[in-house]
Chains A and B, each alone.
Chain A
Amino acid sequence: MRYAYYPGCSSHSTARDMHESAAAVANKLGIELVEIYGWSCCGATSAHQTDRVLAAALPSSNLLLARDMGLDTVVTCAACYNRMKVANREVKDSAEIRCMVADRVGKEYDGSVAVRHIIEILLEDVGLDKIKKALKKSLNGLKIACYYGCLLVRPNDVTGFDDAENPTSMDKLVNAMGGESLEWPYKVECCGGGLNLTRTDVAVRLSGSIIDMAARAGADCIAVACPMCQASLDLRQSDIKKETGLKADMPVVYLTQLLGLCLGIPLNELGLNRLMVSPANIIKQIC
């Protein structure tokens, strides 16, 4: 199992823990992640809000680098995953966009490089059986609200990730690790990440409702696969508490961090010390 790995900008900033835990888990399960040499930003939300061709050109230049490696691209960030999938669709569907992208990048790209999220690799390529065999510890019935957010599942005709309204990929992994994934209604609601800096008040209300719903469903923690969701729910939790009167702490961990713990990987290699809301209480129960 060898892949071209696109870490994304947040892996060196707000989501180092996502990058660290994904790399450690991959290493343990025999997934070889070869970092794309010279990768650049996918453009994220700002590019598609600014210009449609720019939004397709930035991911395309990276996918061209991956094409030269002859490997599928693996992404850990849900936003990069989404932008790359959309770029693939744009250059495939429209000759006009394809030409304009080629003009800007300086090379023609046909949208042919497969883009996959690390969750898809874990489920489809490694498989639950192999993961179960590699486990050293169990989640011991921890109640976990799996939160998918927007960018993995929508638009589903483009990302093709699981089900648009009730995805279960992360739930399957959580259950395989001995946890109890919760049935709850806010799996694919939006955390408001796009307004985190510009309209913090709105972002806090949206994230607050997600934490509130997870708490009411009885969650011990929320599992995420997107650095924007993680920042909205974890980094902003102090603001959410002030605004909504939420009392108890709700740890927000990457699914790869939970998996890393169950695979017996040391805490510091999973970036768990970087979380704002301490996950100490849930770590205690994992043995």
Chain B
Amino acid sequence: MKINGTRKSNLKQTVEELSGVRIDSCLKCMKCTSGCSVAKETKMHPSELIGLLKLGAGDEILKSDLVWMCLSCEICYGRCPMKINTASLIDALRKLAVERGTTTRKGNAPLFNKAFLGTVKQYGRSYDLQMIMHYKFGSGSLMQDTEKFPTMLRKGKMALLPPYGAKKTVVKRIFDTSPGGKGKIK
């Protein structure tokens, strides 16, 4: 990845503040990358991401595939001799990617998150059926997995009706007081 120009970005400082993770102690031992569950699938690797941030990489890094492919499996953190929590760092990059509009359509994780949290806000608990429909319509993946649906319904692995019983006022308060304003889920 090319780092833009000579201007030093403050992205490193921003993600360190957002995540509470400090990366200066990285030894470049590559244990994060050798353990990473998705390293086989991604162009960007965790050790490379840390290295580029340290070198002053800017927003171009928010577009790297690892940002949305990371599974938060935390093998990187578990095996890091310096206890750098790369998974939490990537959570902060995701937040910035959504805020700065650099997300991609392929494997639309922000849409999934919005669909999931939308049902939590509405019912106090997640409602799979509505969440999946929201995601499928938004991502254009309507036909995927449709063959499983009847069996899942028959086996009681998918609830038709929305969940009930949660203290919705508390959940609503939590969402309403979140940044981004009342009722908005970014």
List residues of chain A with CB under 8 Å of any chain B CB.
9, 12-14, 16, 38-41, 43-54, 57-58, 61, 65, 94, 103-106, 150, 153-157, 164-165, 189-190, 192-195, 197-200, 202, 205-206, 235, 238, 273-276
In the complex with contacts A155-B78, A274-B156, A13-B94 CB distance below 8 A: no
17 extra interchain contacts, Cβ-Cβ under 8 A, other than A13-B157, A52-B20? Answer: A14-B157, A41-B124, A46-B113, A48-B72, A48-B91, A49-B94, A50-B113, A61-B170, A61-B174, A94-B20, A154-B78, A157-B83, A192-B37, A192-B71, A193-B71, A197-B112, A202-B38
Measured CA separation A46–B126 after assembly (Å): 11
- For the complex of A and B, the 10 pairs showing the least CB-CB separation, nearest first, are A38-B167, A190-B73, A190-B37, A46-B113, A40-B166, A154-B74, A199-B107, A46-B116, A198-B107, A9-B126
Residue of B20, B152, B171, B178 touching A40 (CB-CB under 8 A): B171
Give the complex CA separation of A54 and B174 in angstroms.
Answer: 7
B111 to chain A: closest residue by CB: A198
Proximity string of chain B (60-85) to chain A, C-beta cutoff 8 Å, 1 when within and 0 when not: 00000000110111110110000101
The answer to whether B144 touches A200 (Cβ under 8 A) is: yes
Quick check: A58 and B171 within 8 Å, CB to CB? yes
Question: Contact partner of B41 among A16, A38, A104, A202, CB < 8 A?
Answer: A202
A-B contact pairs, 29 of them (CB 8 A): A12-B163, A13-B157, A13-B158, A14-B157, A38-B166, A39-B166, A40-B167, A41-B124, A41-B126, A43-B120, A46-B113, A49-B94, A49-B113, A51-B95, A54-B175, A58-B120, A106-B170, A150-B71, A154-B73, A154-B77, A165-B78, A189-B37, A192-B71, A198-B68, A202-B41, A205-B41, A275-B155, A276-B151, A276-B157
Chain B residues with Cβ under 8 A from A12's Cβ? Answer: 125, 159, 163
Q: Is B177 an interface residue (CB 8 A)?
A: yes
- Nearest chain B residue, comparing its CB with the CB of A234: B157
**Contact of B165 with A by CB under 8 A:** yes
Number of residues on chain B facing chain A (CB within 8 A): 62
The tally of CB-CB contacts under 8 A between chains A and B is: 162
Given contacts A192-B71, A198-B109, contact A40 B124 (CB under 8 A): yes
